[in-house]
Each structure stands twice: as structure tokens, then as C-alpha cells.
Amino acid sequence: MLIFALLSPSMQIRRDAMYEVKLSSKNQIVIPSEARSALDVKAGDKLLVVVRGDTVILLRKPKKHSEAIAEIAKGLYPPDYLKNERESWQ
């Protein structure tokens, strides 16, 4: 039995979206349709697999890693914080 956590495109764990899947004799899993829809993935798309302890996290592979990192940082700082910080460097 393998239980994996699903991350939304904004890289937040969706606590309402956890599924149980079975590992086949060929070491494959079927990602439930609800999870595929939430990740917006289809056959042939590439996913990233992150292993943390006994947890496996599936991420949609971003087209541009810089955009994925920017998305992770979104909302991390209060409004205008980064703008003020950048201005202080000049």
C-alpha cells in the first residue's frame, strides 16, 4: 500500500486530497482521476517524485523552474516588503 500527498500547482498540500493506491507487480501505481484533475496532468506528462521519510509527494513538473520557485514564494512576504528591500540595496 502506498499513500501519497497531493500538492496543488501552488505547491500547497491539499489535505482534502489524499488517496490510497496499490503498487502493481510491475512497481506501478495508477493516479486516481481526481488527483490527475487536481494536478492538471494527462498521459505522457512528467511528474516529480519527492520522498520524505515514508511519504511520497507527486508534483507536476514545471515548464520553467523559475516560475515554480516564484509561485512557492508567493504570499511569503508582506506586500511591498521585497520592493522596499530591493530599493534599500540601491
- What value does the mean pLDDT take over residues 3-14? 54
Q: What is the pLDDT of residues 45-72, one digit of tens each?
A: 988 887 878 878 777 787 787 877 776 6
Helix (H) or strand (E) holding 67: helix 65-73
pLDDT number for residue 2: 46
Q: Where are the domains of the chain?
A: 2-89
For the four alpha carbons of 28, 69, 74 and 43, in that order, the dihedral sign comes to negative
pTM for this prediction: 0.53
Question: What percent of the chain is predicted at pLDDT more than 90?
Answer: 12
Q: Identify which of 1-5, 34-38, 50-54, 84-88 has the greatest average pLDDT.
A: 84-88
CATH architecture of 2-89: Ribbon (2.10)
Is pLDDT larger for residue 85 or for residue 11?
A: 85
